[in-house]
Amino acid sequence: MTHQQLVARSVAAVITASVGFGASTAYAEEQVTDDENTVVITASRFKEESVRLPTNITIISKEDIERSNATQVVQLLKRVAGIQISSVSGKTTVSMRGISAEQASNNVLIQVDGRRLNYTDIAAPDLESVLVSDIERIEIIQGAASTLYGDQAVAGVINIITHSGKNKESNASLTGGSYGTAQANLNLNHALNQDWSFLLSANYLETDNYRDHNEREQSQLALKFHYLTEMSDWLFEFNTNHEDLDTPGALLEPDLSEPTQSRPEFANDYVNTQQDVLRVFGQETIDNNWKYAIDVNYLDSDIDSINSFVGFPTTTVNTTDRTQWSVYPRIKGQWQTDSGSIDWTNGVDYDHAEYAFSLLGRSNEQEVKSLYSQLFIPLSKRTDIEVAARYARVEDDLIDLTIYPGGISLKNSATAYDIGVSHQFDRDSRGYVRYSDNYRFAKVDEQSYTADGVIGLEPQTGHSLELGYERGLKYGFLKLSAYRLELDDEIFFDPAATPPPAAFFPGANVNGGRSERIGLMVDYQAELTDDINSGVNYHYVDAEIKRGEPSSQGNSIPGVSEHTANAWIDWQIDSISNGYLEVNYRSDRYQEGDVSNTQPKIASHTVLNSAINWSWEQLTLGIRVDNLLDKEYIDYAQFGGYYPANGRYGYVKLSYRF
């Protein structure tokens, strides 16, 4: 297969994913003719070849991952339109739709194969535990998805799909790079018989990282058994992850002349994590009209840490213990009509979590139960309508040594509704409009530190409206979308709020008034020549506090950049080598938590990343350099505490496929 054919198939696959969602069955079949290159997505929570959800969906393919020579998930997400990335002491948060980094872990749902990475406390999902070598593709739903996914899917969903045992290729790699980075990785796939296969994945990483006192050592092991027949698809998985991370803490403004340093009060700080996951997934085809699926997940996470503050060193060791388990059964019916198929999905989500934090004598047992239904009806061969609804209840049994020493039971409920229309104008273009409700429940940290006199926070609720147009071009595609996201009773930390009695620091978690985000996204990708692919995207968002305290009403939402833009180019230099160059721009924004907009802004920055790969049969040698020009900038800042971004970082990766 020539490179031009590969590019054409890749572009066709992307168009199928991004333009074909609203097409009738006939149109989808015309666009996808090669099963090997079919893009399978899970926006319906079922494995299938086409999904009709009327919203902006982005696919990062396996080929995209390989040609970028990325070793971290964050490297793959940085070039996606509408995503803003922030890093704190080696851990990453991913923001969408004008949500601040401080609130991203509460409002952007991140999953691996349908298993939630988000925790019941405000800790960010651990993207660093996801191995790029394990990823088959990444699916990104931009916009509210509460009816499908429930709590925390306010601004969007990122679903990372990993290899299963049916993948016949095995690989091993060695990586060495800046800051003493060394990594070894193995993915071994083997077919046991016609139906059963297994995958063994192992990884070891050590690095000093960019800043002082930020050493990291990580070891991971995963085992998957996969059963696949014409009617059945079952996956049994176990993985374990151990990580030791020294945390350098924040810097004050005078410290920024030496951005790699760590202040003396953080000399003893660290976070050591042991996390184990068990998962069973099954999907069965009952007959021509019905199929069902079930997801069962269990997570056990134990953390030891020392957490100091600027000016307040400590040597107290804190422990955080989490257990989370979930059961997600669902059933889907499909009936063919002259205009297309009627698709009806119904499901129950059950989540149970236990959490304990030693420092504050804080613990919580949380139970969330949800019912949801989604219906697609073809109004004509070119037009689909989607309606969906969800009802959810949450119960928290909370103990906090300072605020609720005797314990308290908090109960709440929330509903969400969707209605959307998608119209296929012709073979290559479609438009859509979608109205969605969204919600999220307060997390244990937030419920435990509310303003004086407030017992429990109400659910955050919201509404979004999105318009989109997508067109497949002869050598690429164009995607346009505009949205309005409005949140009521938004849950956030307000430094001006009256703290609870016996508080450790000023401020409290509150239900704010109302906030609004109005945004526009443009994404264009093109094959410039037979050997050069390129892309450019832009995101604008006006994020504003519409109603709240007099000191904040009308202000910009802190932590949100009004403008982000990305551009990239991928050049097939010759038959064995390709080069990759990427530029990321992010405009200035107020510091996290600065609802009064009075503190100095975080300056804008532009960063260049580059990679080059050489492939000889099963062997690939890759070099990647991020922050090519060694730009100094701030990735995250809150209340005058600054976290510098990495300087120039490069590595060499040698991979072997067998």
Q: Say if CB 528 and CB 534 are below 8 A apart.
A: yes
Using CB atoms within 10 Å of the CB of residue 330, give its burial: 0 to 12 exposed, 13 to 18 middle, 19+ buried.
Answer: buried
pLDDT in tens, 559-584: 999 999 999 999 999 999 999 999 99
Whether 420 is covered by a domain: the verdict is: yes
Determine which of 52-61, 65-74, 466-475 has the lowest per-residue pLDDT on average: 52-61
What is the rounded CA–CA span in Å between residue 47 and residue 43?
9
pLDDT at position 571 is 95
Rg (CA), the chain: 24
Residue with tokens 């926070």: 457
pLDDT at position 22 is 32
User: Does the structure show a pLDDT above 80 at 203?
Assistant: yes
Q: Summarize the confidence of residues 126-138 as an average pLDDT.
A: 90
Using CB atoms within 10 Å of the CB of residue 25, give its burial: 0 to 12 exposed, 13 to 18 middle, 19+ buried.
Answer: middle
* Residue 186 CA, distance from chain mean position: 24
Where on the phi/psi map is residue 97: left (φ > 0), alpha (ψ -120 to 50), or beta? left
Whether 556 is covered by a domain: the verdict is: yes
Q: Domain total for the chain?
A: 1
pLDDT at position 507 is 86
Whether 324 is covered by a domain: the verdict is: no
Which has more confidence, 128 or 547?
128
User: Does the structure show a pLDDT above 80 at 33?
Assistant: no
Average predicted confidence (pLDDT) for the chain: 89
Q: What is the DSSP letter of 42?
A: -
pLDDT at position 369 is 97
Helix locations, 281-339, DSSP H: none
Whether 343 is covered by a domain: the verdict is: no
Residue with tokens 């956030």: 492
pLDDT at position 42 is 64
Residues 6+ apart with CB under 8 A from 159: 42, 111, 112, 113, 114, 138, 139, 140, 141
DSSP 207-258: E--SSTT--EEEEEEEEEEEEE-SSEEEEEEEEEEEEEEE----B-GGGGGS
Whether 335 is covered by a domain: the verdict is: no
pLDDT at position 12 is 36
User: Does the structure show a pLDDT above 50 at 36?
Assistant: no
Q: Which two tokens stand for residue 447?
A: 């419920």
pLDDT in tens, 218-242: 999 999 999 999 899 999 999 999 9
Helix (H, G, I), strand (E, B) or coil at 576: coil
User: Does the structure show a pLDDT above 50 at 26?
Assistant: no
CATH of the domain at 360: 2.40.170.20
Q: Say if CB 621 and CB 574 are below 8 A apart.
A: no
**pLDDT category of residue 523 using cuts at 50, 70 and 90:** very high
pLDDT at position 166 is 63
Q: Summarize the confidence of residues 446-462 as an average pLDDT.
A: 90
Nearest to 300 by CA among 280, 320, 285, 314: 320
199: β partners: 189, 224
Q: Say if CB 568 and CB 535 are below 8 A apart.
A: yes
Burial code (b: 16+ CB inside 10 Å, e: under 16) for 44-74 equals: bbbebebbbbbbbbbbbbeebbbbbbbbebb
**pLDDT category of residue 186 using cuts at 50, 70 and 90:** very high
Q: Say if CB 156 and CB 108 are below 8 A apart.
A: yes
CA distances from 147 to 86, 295, 436, 464 (A): 28, 17, 8, 13
pLDDT at position 167 is 66
Determine which of 200-204, 441-445, 519-523 has the lowest per-residue pLDDT on average: 441-445
Q: How many CB atoms lie within 10 A of CB 205?
A: 19
CA distances from 200 to 122, 248, 277 (A): 32, 34, 15
pLDDT at position 9 is 36
What is the rounded CA–CA span in Å between residue 501 and residue 452?
7
pLDDT in tens, 400-427: 888 888 899 999 999 999 999 999 999 9
Q: Say if CB 353 and CB 324 are below 8 A apart.
A: yes
Q: Which two tokens stand for residue 234?
A: 């079952």
pLDDT at position 15 is 33
pLDDT at position 17 is 36
Whether 582 is covered by a domain: the verdict is: yes
Largest CA distance in the chain: 71
What is the rounded CA–CA span in Å between residue 234 and residue 280?
7
Determine which of 102-116, 370-384, 495-509, 600-614 has the lowest per-residue pLDDT on average: 495-509
What is the rounded CA–CA span in Å between residue 69 and residue 611?
6
Query: What is the dihedral sign for C-alpha 394, 397, 401, 403?
Result: positive
Whether 443 is covered by a domain: the verdict is: yes
Query: What is the dihedral sign for C-alpha 52, 75, 95, 203?
Result: positive
**In the Cβ-directed half-sphere of 407, how many Cα atoms lie within 13 Å?**
6
Q: Say if CB 462 and CB 488 are below 8 A apart.
A: yes
Whether 529 is covered by a domain: the verdict is: yes
Q: Which domain holds residue 610?
A: 3-313+349-650
Percent share of the chain, pLDDT over 90: 72
Backbone angles phi, psi at 396, to 5 degrees: -115, 125
Q: What is the pTM of this model?
A: 0.90
pLDDT in tens, 310-361: 989 999 999 999 999 999 999 999 999 999 999 999 999 999 999 999 988 8
Nearest to 604 by CA among 633, 625, 631: 633
Highest mean pLDDT among 2-16, 36-50, 495-509: 495-509
**pLDDT category of residue 458 using cuts at 50, 70 and 90:** very high
